[in-house]
Structure 1
């Protein structure tokens, strides 16, 4: 049986070494998964939807931030449709909300401007909490805050309010070492 997954020529995985070093043990596999997903999908960059998909697969604290199974299932449904080529069609397109100049891509090769900003915002959120490393909830909060990114488009289409999600996650100064305040 022939594989339905297209072959992609080997390309080096996009990295942001300065960011990668500041990720928690739980968040590092999320970034690796997003890199793998972008390469497999034939996308030139990791975008916020790749990050959201990997977050949901890898981080139980992120899954718990959603309001029950049906909401989470709808979000995953949109992300899976995208990864197999149906539904939201972004494959091969650069994520750019217009909020930042696309030239930002030069500073973060292999990352969409919004994905790079989300990673930076996650690190800032962790720093506001007094932590040196960003967690999955930090990244989820950063994704939910950018109303123009692909991850938020997925959330909204799945019936998830980014504002309500952010409220459930909590402010960085309201978190404890065990996760978000509820």
Structure 2
């Protein structure tokens, strides 16, 4: 797999120097929080990297095309995700600051940095559209395609059927004039 790697040898020599970059980083599909996140092509990235003396600071804009699963109807849908990020990089780790990315030698590999910020930008509740009705909790039909009668049938059944373990509670509440 090809990596988006930035040669920083020229900016390491002088504090305040920076370098522009652009390219694309192929990423494989990943499993995140139990869900498959599909990448429909490489992530396009452009930005600049600056030597601040102690650290390198990377400012970038990225665009990724993803295949996600709707939380309501469970169908897969495509989403274009645009995001910006800033990352601080160092050759030595700092136990006081876990947000610093490490690099070795005179090159910065952007793969792990891009992946981390992409995961942070994923929508918390993934759904194919705001209007998605989801699945019926009783029969599993996709309510975007057809309406079922489960809701009406369940409401009538609930009036008649009471769990036998709760009958004593129902009688007690009914005797006190409370509606069950």
TM range, normalised to the smaller chain?
under 0.3
User: Greater strand share, 1 or 2?
Assistant: 2
Structure number with the higher helix fraction is: 1
Larger RCO of the pair (alpha carbons < 8 Å, separation 6+): 1
